[in-house]
Chain A
Amino acid sequence: MTAHRLALASPHIRSVSIEAQEYPQVAAAYAVSAVPKMVVNDRVAFLGALPEEAFVDAVLSAVDQGASGDGASQSSGDGGQSPGSQSLE
């Protein structure tokens, strides 16, 4: 899993994978309706199994957004079904 690889590679990154069906309340709290769904620093989300370069893009971009944001919860690319993601319904 790419997120885990990033955590293994970088001392600044932690990666937690969560079984959405086992923890429906946590999944609901993060508005998870399709998987995989990645949430960075509890602020910015992206969907779908992205190739490595795009995944790193998404993580770095999320960090930039989080750092310059006003602390309110943001969601990017979360409106619809992304290619590579699977609905939980």
Chain B
Amino acid sequence: MAILNDADATYLREQLATLLTKQVRIRLFTEPATGLYVPGRPTCETCADAEALMNEVADLSDRIYLEIVDVSAHPDLAREAGVALIPTMAVDDGADSGVRFVGLPDGYEFSSFVETLVAAGSEAGHGLSDESLARLESLTTEVEIKTFVTPT
């Protein structure tokens, strides 16, 4: 059963066809559902939904491509990408931009997710003002911003 309803999918497909001008990569760090219950090992409750949703998103545009990284099979790739929790989605244009979504981007967060795809893959890009860009250029240290969000 699809997660996105038909009307939403159609609307998004049209929007993305207009707005995306370059390739956007979604790397989904996840764990496949094995159907086995292993006592003491935490299961990723939203990984299956995240995979299904990301597959639907990738289907919305030829410019979106999805790479699924199984963190149990490739812990090195997860470590390199700084991924500790799953599901995590990394969004960029092919080169890591440091953008991560941790947890299923549900409800309101889904529109944030789509906006970020567009920001990564459009001419308008990040949309920051020249002033903001100039101020950010003064940064010499590495900055990590964690943003806690909720679907409602």
Indicate the member of B92, B148, B150 with the most A CB atoms within 10 Å.
B148
B17 on interface, CB distance cutoff 8 Å: no
Q: A12-B141, A56-B132 are in contact. Are A19 and B146 (CB under 8 A)?
A: no
A63 touches B139 (CB 8 A): yes
B147 touches A36 (CB 8 A): yes
Count the B residues whose beta carbon is within 8 Å of the partner chain — how many? 47
The one of A17, A40, A52, A67 in contact with B102, judged by C-beta atoms closer than 8 angstroms, is A17
Give the residues from 72 to 127 in chain B that come closer than 8 angstroms, CB to CB, to chain A: 82, 85, 91-92, 97-106, 109, 112, 115-116, 119-120, 125-127
Q: A6-B128, A23-B85 are in contact. Are A13 and B145 (CB under 8 A)?
A: yes
Q: What would be 11 A-B contacts, judged by CB atoms less than 8 Å apart?
A: A6-B136, A10-B137, A11-B98, A19-B105, A20-B149, A22-B46, A35-B148, A38-B147, A39-B146, A40-B146, A60-B135
Give the number of residue pairs across the A-B interface with Cβ within 8 Å: 164
Binding site for A on B (CB under 8 A): 45-46, 82, 85, 91-92, 97-106, 109, 112, 115-116, 119-120, 125-129, 131-133, 135-151
